[in-house]
Structure formats: C-alpha cells, structure tokens
Structure 1
Amino acid sequence: MNTCIHCGAELKLRPNWHVRKTIQTLNGPLFVAGRAKICTNAECSHCGTRYYASQVWALSLPDSSYGLDVHAYIGWRHEHDQRQLVEIQRELNEKGIEINERNVGKLYRQYLALLGASSEEVQKELDAIVAKHGGLIIGVDALQPEGHGSLLYVLYEILSGTVVSAIQLEPPNEQELTNWLLTYQKYPVLGSVTDGEERIIAALRAVWPTAPRQRCQEHFLGNLADEVLGYDTELRQQMRADLGGLPKSSDFPDDSAFF
C-alpha cells in the first residue's frame, strides 16, 4: 500500500520495524520483517494512521516463531492421517524443525481456532476497523504443506494485521471458498489482495462483487523471477562456455614480462 485510503496522499515509511523475527517453516528458517507506513498529510482526517506490511501476516501468526505451513502440516497429519502429536513432533524434527510435543499441541489448538471461524475478540477488532476506516482491506493466501494435496487458505485483515480465519480443503473448489467467505459478507470491503489464484478471485468476486482486487506484489514479483531464472541460468551457462577458454588471472605472466 503506497497511498492513504482516505486522502490519497503518499504514505511515508516509518524507520522502525513493527515485526522482525525468524520463523521455522517446512522449507527451512525464514527471516521476516515489516515496516509500517504512515499518513503525514495534516489535512487528512486520518493523519498519523499506520498501515502495516500485510504479507507478514500470511506467513506466521503474531507472536509465533512457526510458519502457518507448520500449523497446516500438524493439523492435516493429525486430523486426516490420524497421527499422534508425538509422531508429528518426530516428523517435524526430522525435517529440521525444532519443536517439542507440547508446542505441537499448542500449534494444533491454534490450527483448530483458525478453522473454527473468527472469535468474538477478532470480530470486535474487525468492527473497530470498519468504524475507523469505513471498511476492511482483506488478504487471502494459500499454503500447501509439503507432500500433501490439501491447501490451507488464510484470511487476514491488512489494515490491522488481524488473522481472521482459515479453511483447509482437498481438493480446493470455488464453492467451498465462497461459502467460507460468506461468513464475513456483512463487513464492507474496501479492497482485497490475493496471490492470483483464480478460485480465490472468483470467490471474492462472488461475495464482494464491487470491491477492487489487487494481486500481491510479492507473489507477482516471485512469478516474474521464476520466468527470468531460466533465462538467467541459460545465459550464465553460455557465458561460461564462451569465456571458459580465457586464462585465469593467476595464469597471466608477471607484470615484469611486459616491460
């Protein structure tokens, strides 16, 4: 988000990090950090309002050092595959994730809370955001536990950084996503951010047909990088072949030989 949703003025980046931590994911440790932006337009009715980096909330719950993909893995293995928590702990340890059985149980309870729709506390937070800004800006992201066909969809509110709810589907389909989002249709939505998945976009369009939609910049740039990576690898191989015949710097004669 680059401009204030109320006055349209350019937002200024704050110097301090509002989140800065390393989380354990199924793909290894990941350092995440986010800096808020603020409206400095003195004439704006919401001058001083902070807007937080949204993608952080799609990776990990606040105050958690584990990725949401770990929550999804624990939930799926316990619910679908009937694995005991101690068995899941061993599996995660083998994947390089440091966790004990007690914390596996804690993450499993958080997983159930996410699937159980928003709590009264979350609803109060959403009501407060609507009262302050006139609506919500929501994000929907999908996480896939390693080696499983199910997807964990996470719904979060961007202005407040509130993780609202989650649903795990195998296989995912548009109607189930729509039914899930209909629970929150009572809230006015100013806009939405997604990873570009057609099923999510269709569900958002069905529930909030007039709300603007934007593709997540991180996913967009990541997809561009994937395309460029192939060309980059090919170019490096070609350069290595073309330049491979040149002598290394240590193979050149001493400077004295030139005089």
Structure 2
Amino acid sequence: MVKTAKSGEPTITRHLTPERTDCPHCGGPMRADDANPRTVHTLAGITRLHLTVRRCHQYGCVARRRPYRPEAGGASVLPRHEFGLDVIALIGALRYTEHRSIPEIRAHLVGRGVTIAERTVTNLLDRYDELLAVALADDRRLRTLLGRQGRVLLGVDGWQPDVGHEVLWVIRDCLSGEILLAESLLSARHQDLGELLAAVKAACPVPVAGIVSDGQASIRKAVAAVFPDTPYQRCPFHFLREAARPIYEADRHAKKELQKTVRGVRGIERTAEGRTDPAADVIRGYCSAVRSALTDDGRPPVEASGLRLHDRLTAIHESLGRAEEKGGFRPNSGSGKASSTGGLEATLDLWLPVRTAFAWVHQAAHILGLEAPPGTVIRAKLGGLLGAMRRHRKAAGERAKGVDHFVKVSRRYWPGLFACYDTPDLPRTNNDLEQAFGSHRYHERRATGRKGASPALVLRGSARLVAGLATRRQKVTAADLAGANPAQWKQLRAALEERRQRRVERKRFRRDPQGYLKDLEIKLNQLSLPA
C-alpha cells in the first residue's frame, strides 16, 4: 500500500551544529558555510532539522571544502531517510517481540501519528536488521565480551530451508550465545566453510577451547583443517539418528504391518452408538485406547513407535483377557479383543529382532547421556557395547544388517563423541543452535502467515537471524542502532542487494527463459565490439 495521506507540518525544530570548529587535518578554523534542512518523522512528532555544515578553506589542506556535518545528526536519522531511528527501533520490536505483520505495524505507527506506507515499513525493517547486525558484530564489543570469558566454545551449523538455494552458515559462541559470524553461501563445500572458520579464528581475541556440531561431512573436514588440535564434539543425537536409521525403519515396517491387521474398531464403536448403559461406556473406552495407540508416533532415534504400539495393544489384549476370566465381556460382545489379537499373532515374528536391536540403541543412548564419568570411561563403556553387538548380532535375526550399520557409523563418529566429557562447559549436542533456527523460523511464520519458510530467511539471514534473536533477548533502542559503523553497514547492504539481484535473475529466467538468454546474448555481443 502506497502512502496516500499528505505529511503534516513540522511541530518540532532542532538546530544541530558540529562540535568541532577547527579542521582535524590542518588545525585551521572551519566556517559555517550553509545549513542543510531536513524533515524527519519521529515518534515525538514531525521534526525539522537544521544541520549546520562547516568547511575548511585553508589552501593546501587535504580536506579543503570537505563538508563536516553535526555528529548528532547520525544519532537520530540515517542518511537520505525520512524516518528516525526511534521509528526503526519500534518497527523491529513490534516485529520480533510481538510478532506483528507489516499491516499491523503500519496501523500501530499510524495510531501514534506516524504517516507511513506498508512498503516503507518493509524497507525500514530491512534497515533494522542490517543496523543491528552490524552493531552486534562490532569488533570492540566482541573483544570486550569474549575477553571477559577468556575462551570461546564454537557451535557450527548450516541452514538450508530451500534445497538448491543458499546455505546460511552460523558460527555461535556457546558460552555467551553471541553469533560470531552468519554468512550465506551458494554451496556446502568444506573449503568455503573452512574460510569462515578461519575468519572467526583470526578475529577471535581468546583461544577456541572446543567446537560442537552435527555429523555433516563438510563441517568435519573444515574443522579438521582449521582447528586440528581443538577438542571437537559431534552431536550424539545426530549420531544415534543416523546409526539407528535401519533399525528405526524396521520398527516402522513392523508397525505398518500391525496396523494393517488391526481392523474392526469402527464397527465395534457403532455397536455402542446411542447407548447409555455402562457396557457401552466400557466399549467406547477400549476403542478410544486402541485409537490412541494407533495414532501415537514416536520420534527417532530412541523412541520406537512400533514397539510402543505393540506394547499398548498387548496391554489392551491382556486387560480384556483378565476381564473375561472374571466373567466380564466375552470376545463376541464387541469389546475389541478380537481386533487386536489377530494383529499381535500375525506380526509376532517381526517384534523380537526389533526389540533386541532397539535395546542396544537405548543402551548406547544411556551411555552417552552419562555426565559424571570422564571420557575414558564413556569410551570404554560404548566400546564394550559395540563389541557385544558384533558378537551377538545374530540375536537381531533379520535386523543384523541394521546392527552392522550401527557399528559402522559408530566407527565414523568415534573420534568426536567424547570431547564434551573432558572439556568443561562444552555442550554435548548442537541442539541450542538448531533450536535458535527453529525459533526464528516459527516466529517468522507467525508474523507472516506463511506455511513454509520464507526465502528471505536465507537470502537476508545473515542480518535477519542475528537481529531477530538479539531483539527477543534484549531491548533495542535507537542508540543501539546509531552505534553501527556506517561503512560496514553500507558494505553489508551492498552484499545483501547483490544476493537479491542474483535471486531476481533466477526468477526472471524461470518466467521467460528465451528472453533472458536473448538479453545475455546481446550483452555478450556488445562486449566483442571494438571500443
């Protein structure tokens, strides 16, 4: 929506003058040549700024006739912008702490007397992301913060909501929670990630005491190249999820076969519809138990939804059997015993191998979850379990290949599973960083109403993710935004704009491939013409 209302007249007038009156280069006096008037919309009202500009007129000075503007001007408004930094700070707070949509933010600002268009709100939200990201990445601030800690523990992870597009790599300090680097790359190669890790290593004023990440191959190779002697912890959750995948798939297959055989629940429910006697209530209760068991899914890698379904149906079957022995319901009374009995008997051979294999998975999860013992004890316990799995793999029957896969993946993850037990404060998993990704994605969907992830999460993620997480953690004011380095802000804004242009080009090609290629041919032919 464009701005249709006419801006009001200024109600506040401010005169700003440079604090310095002598030239910083030659020391000569600087004259007040002219005043640059500006109209700025702030939360206090429409403000008329009269900026006095000074210049040095000494012959031979390298800064002769160079304008020197008031320092306070940059603390209230950005160059060539109509709205003050306090308005930008309010837009960011409404977006990331109250999850307001763009129309809701505009309505809130209009209610406070700020005449603004929806497109302008979107643009100012981008400025908020950029300014706050630059302010938080200030070298002096990070050096002071990390210097108090004396060390850093890095968490590394990549985020790619859209397959085939950019990957947002984030390197975060696990002790302070500060994001040290966030950069979108077109690939997940370990060479590119190694450059990011090398940049963090060079800029870090204190030693890197440990690193934690998932088991992605590119991250492992990059860490090995840049931090060969640093303790490196690989997330045991990702390890168990990858190692137990065949076993979990076997559990899902057995569950599917069991669900196929459990039939007739709806027919039994119909026999109790419209009845109010106690027997009907009991029938409905057993049918609800069966439905609840059928629809309860577990989460890999430790929770086995198939075994859970089997155990619950077995409990229902035994409960009905006990009631039958005491003279209660008979199988032909519609109690649900017959519907579960056939399924349990038909799939009996599937469950023993799965139960044996999952018992080993649970033991591995229990060993890795211990906190008190040192890494040598955990290493010995897990090594003993893997040895027992190799010796008794035949006990898993048809799932012996799944046990072999578990042992194979364990060997690959082995060097990075025990660093957290010997390095103080090093997290066991990288779930905190992944939860930060999920939290931002949830808040983004809540504010925009999108069902899927927004492309801007990666396109502008290097600024938006940092700003969103920081805003929910602390209150951001106009003074915080004014502390951003102007040169770094322009550099970040140019990089984000270049990335956006690349995305626009890909969209143009999808819309009109022939026209897009024809334009490129014309440009290529023009390059071959003589100057």
- Structure (1 or 2) with the greater helix fraction: 2
Q: Give the alignment's TM-score, normalised by structure 2.
A: 0.26
As a proportion of its length, which structure holds more strand?
1
Query: TM-score, normalised to structure 1's length?
Result: 0.49
Q: Which has the higher contact order (CA 8 A, sep 6+)?
A: 2
